[in-house]
């Protein structure tokens, strides 16, 4: 008889990774179980014209993400967490595209996970300082791809999906601990009742003389 591990008992999960951006928004879907090589389901990029107004560009991204959610039915959506850069305009566009992905997932009741670039690199390559080429090569190896996903945004989206798939048990455990802590704080301290029939510690004995007084 073979022992069943926690990972083996889990059903395969499908994750949509989103590498947000206005000009190119990477999308990638993988499926698998934490601790095992995942399977590639789909990968692609949403492109928008820089000459188009921001509202129209975000609408294009929203419509394409909605199409992917309908077609591939992911269990979770993983989005890159936006971090500070020198180019504020680029950061704003990335944040706006990421927010569209989050809203699309929320509309369907899907959980959303945010991962920083260093978390993704560490999960996929073992080093949070890996460069894009190293990440792409590991994505190809893990997903058994014979050709490099292009452009790089597609590889980044797949790396995000793999990262979340493998980090899911730790994330779930942390959320469970946080929920338990909040529940304990809501309940508050449990009041203790005095022992029936006995004196209260530190107080005078009912019916007896007061210590230091006249009997």
We report the CATH number of the domain holding residue 156 as 3.30.420.10
Cβ atoms within 10 Å of 73's Cβ, excluding its own = 13
Residue 36 forms part of a structural domain: yes
Residue 80's H or E segment, with its range, is strand 76-80
Residue 193 forms part of a structural domain: no
Domain count, the chain: 1
Among the options 19, 62, 66, 131, which is catalytic?
19
- Matching residue, tokens 């994330």: 171
Pair of tokens at residue 1: 């008889």
Is 196's pLDDT higher than 80? no
Residue 196 forms part of a structural domain: no
Q: Is 156 labeled as catalytic in the residue annotation? A: no
Q: Is 19 labeled as catalytic in the residue annotation? A: yes
- Matching residue, tokens 């990972």: 7
Residue 190 forms part of a structural domain: no
Among the options 63, 64, 71, 80, which is catalytic?
80
* Residue range(s) defining the domain that contains residue 169: 10-176
Among the options 49, 147, 153, 172, which is catalytic?
153
Residue 31 forms part of a structural domain: yes
Residues near 38 by beta carbon (within 8 Å), at least 6 away in sequence: 30, 31, 32, 142, 143, 161, 162, 165
Residue 215 forms part of a structural domain: no
Give per-residue pLDDT as tens, 6-48: 555 678 999 999 999 999 999 999 999 988 899 999 999 999 9
More confident: 5 or 34:
34
Give per-residue pLDDT as tens, 92-125: 999 999 999 999 999 999 999 999 999 999 999 9
Pair of tokens at residue 55: 């509202």
Residue 209 forms part of a structural domain: no
Q: Is 80 labeled as catalytic in the residue annotation? A: yes
Residue 185 forms part of a structural domain: no
Say if CB 39 and CB 143 are below 8 A apart.
Answer: yes
Q: Are strands 24-32 and 39-47 parallel, antiparallel or unpaired?
A: antiparallel
């Amino acid at each position: 008889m073979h022992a069943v591990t926690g990972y083996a008992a889990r059903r395969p999960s499908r994750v949509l990774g989103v590498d947000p951006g206005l000009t190119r928004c990477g999308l990638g879907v993988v499926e698998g179980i934490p601790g095992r090589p995942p399977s590639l389901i789909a990968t692609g990029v949403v492109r928008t014209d820089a000459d188009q107004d921001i509202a129209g560009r975000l609408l294009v991204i929203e419509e394409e993400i909605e199409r992917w959610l309908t077609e591939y039915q992911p269990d979770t959506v993983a989005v890159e967490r936006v971090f500070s850069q020198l180019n504020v305009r680029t950061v704003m566009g990335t944040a706006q595209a990421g927010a569209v992905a989050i809203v699309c997932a929320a509309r369907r009741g899907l959980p959303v996970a945010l991962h920083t670039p260093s978390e993704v690199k560490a999960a996929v390559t073992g080093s949070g300082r890996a460069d894009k080429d190293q990440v792409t090569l590991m994505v190809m190896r893990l997903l058994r791809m014979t050709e490099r996903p292009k452009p790089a945004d597609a590889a980044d989206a797949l790396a995000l999906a793999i990262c979340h798939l493998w980090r899911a048990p730790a994330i779930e455990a942390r959320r469970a601990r946080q929920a338990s802590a909040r529940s304990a704080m809501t309940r508050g301290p449990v009041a203790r009742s005095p022992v029936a029939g006995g004196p209260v510690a530190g107080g005078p004995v009912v019916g007896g003389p007061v210590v230091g007084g006249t009997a």
